[in-house]
Structure 1
Amino acid sequence: MYYPDSYGGIEQVIRQLAQSRLDGVKHGVFTLSKQGFDDRRCIEVDGVPVTRARAHFSLASTSVSFSALAAFRNAAAQADLVHYHFPWPFADVLHFAAGVRTPSILTYHSDIVRQRLLMPLYAPLMHRFLARMRVIVATSPNYLETSDVLKRHRDRVQTIPIGLDPAQCTSDEERVACWRERLGSGFFLFIGAIRYYKGLHILMEAARNAAFRVVILGAGPQERALKKQAGELGLCNVTFLGALPDADKYALLELCRGVVFPSHLRSEAFGVTLLEGAMFGRPLVSSEIGTGSSYVNIDGLTGYVVPPSDPDALRAVLHRLHADPALAAALGRNAHARFVERFQASTMRGRYQQLYESVLEGGIALDAAHHLALPRV
């Protein structure tokens, strides 16, 4: 899915690229949507043309459309470069069914983790699809080193870390004041969809009988179970806010002591939330799962990295940061410095511009290039 249907980390990456106004590059997005169409297959989101096909059903967490093929074939035919975002197995099907001959690249966000039992059936198609890509982009060197799939295609893999634009992520003083009156400050903030791999059940255990406070910003399929767990544990120090607009998120980032990100499975491939915390100069707390989260958060430098599924270790570092504001501030400054050095959207956009030029070199002039992005669904 893509904005406005979904607001996840991958959608943020695509949005940053699509709004980048790279020299000579016109972006378009192809996606599936569950929303009503009112006969409008093409819409404009933040100045970016978005072609949508109706998502008819979901199979193994993958949205499928009966009407997407013709629309995708037409969109790909008009583009000079197709940029896929993996994993979305239906894109593999579309690529071959549409007979795409347009130069194609792919950003590899994550291995397929939850549906591993289906991998023997899907793997031949997946590897054939990946083999057709001119370049595969990994979002961190950590993920490249720990992904068996990426290692198999390593000769065509480049690494381009995800970046955010601070100019698009500013807080409003009035909204900060409003949230300060409601929640105070100095709490630990989780931001994200409440999904099975986010490790929030571990955070609930860590918060039991703790002096620090935790604020959960987000909604998702595990929300009801998580609130039930919090009730059973008697967690008066945990506040659930549900999903809120970005303006509220940025205000909460201004007020929090640090960002906690307890994801415990490899389904969490990077952690854009960690970038948001670093951008606001907050210390980061995450788990070591062998993915990009430990590329963003360096243990002892920008925050703390604890073993996954270990509530005692998580509680210990949160208590340390709660009890020592000066330590939290120092780690937050380090996190911000690392963000400025490696994770700004301008850096990411520049790297992709160079990649687009490289792929199109010798065939199509850059000032004629069109880029079609396919979000993961």
Structure 2
Amino acid sequence: MRIERLAQALSARGHDVELVTYHLAEERGQFDFPVHRIYGRLEIGSLPPGPTLAKLALWDPTLARLCARRLDERGFDVIHAHHFEGLLAAAWGRRGHSVPLVYDAHTMLAGELPAYGQSWLRRAAVSLGRCLDGWIPRLADHMIVVTDDIAQQLADRHGFDPRRITVVRNGVEVASFAPGGKPPAAARPELLVYTGTLAPYQGIDLLLQAFAQALAQRPRLRLRLLVSSSFDPFMPMAQRLGIAHALEVIRENFETVPALMAEAGIALLPRVDCPGLPQKLLNYMASGRAIVAFAGSAKLVEHEVNGLVVPNHDTDAFAQAIVRLADDPALAARLGRNAHRFVVETSTWEKAAERCERVYAGLLGIGRPVESRPAEPSSLLPLPLANAGASQAVERAPLTSVR
């Protein structure tokens, strides 16, 4: 989502944008800029989160060659590379060219890699992730990161110059969600909602445990899961907890998610380890839902102001927060209105594009925003996010993912 929306926002501001990405997409879509895919074709399919043999051995080298070919064919001003595999492909592809390379860090591998392997490999995965976090960004001329904590980790733990790091938070499609942050008449205080992937790092097991505790206290509660993959792996757990009858599982679609989300009174964020910024959090805020979140992913949530924040892994506290909001619709409405107001004032894709422009201008030695140049607009080449879980997928595979 970040890749597609930034590219759209930059294109709308007059820049000449091209996108180089994978061949997979969940749907066909129309863009106002050229999209170049590896193998020269589009295939309908899902891109799994995490590193895979196909990505590392086949797709990423092909992506690097495609990047190199586009650089040979056109004189781009900036390469904007998303996530680690995008940066590696771009670094290889720009050999022989002096074009500046911007690395867009969506997360930190020390926090993400352990989620993709067996539990006994966790310590090794953390160590490997920290090594990669300290090495790979050095291939870029500047770093754009989605949160302050990623910037702090890169500077404090890995020794990067803070002047080479700029925070550019995600935006959100405010107009696509419930206007005004006020729950519509159809909202049901007892209906809870979760949107996004079912990847291990999302904390779905904690979500189900907390919901079971809340359901035991308020049997009228229902949990709606708007997800991008099959719920079958979690069904045995739901049955064991005795909550299967209270679940509503719907395959997500960007066109239908806002309306389905708006019917719920409470939105849930069970992730406990999130160096980046979950796109679902911004979507929840834009829709005006009251939010219950573990502290690890509550990056923009101020407790008792625009949501409720509970300690990581504390499913009892999570359940009690759910019960509190379900019993007090007025509190839920107030938190939702405040959340909506927050994203309207701070988190649009145009604001994100403006911040990116200032980075480009500095790298190009322009001294003022790229958009203000009277000459031809700058050419930007965003590269794909190769490793992520999508909160909402429209046309995209590597384009899809928002944490």
Q: Are positions 1:144 and 2:151 aligned together?
A: yes
Deviation at 1:329, TM superposition (A): 0.6
Residues 238-247 or 301-310, more deviating = 238-247
Deviation at 1:319, TM superposition (A): 0.4
Mapping of residues 44-193 of structure 1, within 5 Å = 45-54=30-39, 60-61=51-52, 63-64=55-56, 65=59, 66-77=61-72, 78=74, 79-88=76-85, 91-96=87-92, 98-99=94-95, 100-112=97-109, 113-115=111-113, 117=124, 127-146=134-153, 152-153=159-160, 154-169=162-177, 186-193=190-197
Shift of 1:48: 2.6
**How far apart, in 1, do the equivalents of 2:174 and 2:324 lie?**
28
Distance 1:107 1:35, change over 3 A: closer
Distance in 2 between the 1:245 and 1:218 partners?
9
Alignment correspondent of 1:8: none
The sequence identity of aligned pairs, in percent, is: 20
**Residue identity opposite 2:80 in structure 1:** H
Shift of 1:47: 2.4
CA offset digits 1:255-313 (Å, max 9, x no partner): 111210101223x6211111111111111111112xxx333211221111111222101
Higher-RCO chain (CA-CA 8 Å, sequence separation at least 6): 2
Spell out, residue by residue over 1:194-253, the C-alpha distance to the aligned partner (whole angstroms, 9 max, x if none): 1101111111111112422211110337x3221221112111463242422222211022
Amino acid paired to 1:95: A
Counterpart CA distance in 2 for 1:57 and 1:149 is: 32
Instruction: State the AA in 1 paired with 2:113.
Output: Q
Per the alignment, in what secondary structure is the counterpart of residue 30 of structure 1?
strand
Q: Comparing 22-31 with 60-69, which one deviates more in the overlay? A: 60-69
Partner of 1:238: 246
Deviations 1:110-149 (A, max 9, x none): 1113436367668777645422423211212133335578
Asked if 1 retains the 8 angstrom alpha-carbon contact of 2:18 and 2:381, the reply is yes
Which whole-Å CA distance do the structure 1 matches of 2:287 and 2:131 have between them?
A: 43
Q: Which runs of 5+ in 1 are unaligned?
A: 1-11, 37-42
How far is 1:151 from its partner?
5.0
Number of residue pairs matched by the alignment: 346
Q: Distance in 1 between matches of 2:130 and 2:315?
A: 35
State the distance in 1 between where 2:50 and 2:332 align: 44
CA, structure 1 residues 148+202, in 2 after alignment: closer, same or farther (shift >3 Å)?
Answer: farther
Partner of 2:23: 33
Partner of 2:398: none
The answer to whether the aligner puts 1:228 opposite 2:236 as a matched pair is yes
Q: Which runs of 5+ in 2 are unaligned?
A: 115-123, 387-403
Structure-2 residue corresponding to 1:303: 307
Instruction: Name the structure 1 match of 2:210.
Output: 206
The code of the aligned residue for 1:308 comes to N
> Is the 1:189–1:216 Cα contact (8 Å) retained in structure 2?
yes
Root-mean-square deviation over aligned CA pairs = 3.3
The TM-score normalised by the length of structure 1 is: 0.80
Distance 1:356 1:150, change over 3 A: farther
Do the aligned partners of residues 75 and 119 (structure 1) sit closer, same or farther apart at CA in structure 2, a change above 3 Å counting? farther
| TM-score, structure 2 normalization | 0.76
Measure the CA separation in 2 of the matches of 1:35 and 1:352: 26
**Displacement after TM superposition at 1:70 (Å):** 2.8
Where do 1:270-281 residues align within 5 Å? 270-281=277-288
Query: 2:327 matched to 1:345?
Result: no
Distance 2:172 2:319 in 1: 29
Equivalent of 1:260, from 265, 268, 278?
268
Partner of 2:334: 330
Give distance in 1, aligned partners of 2:163 and 2:304: 33
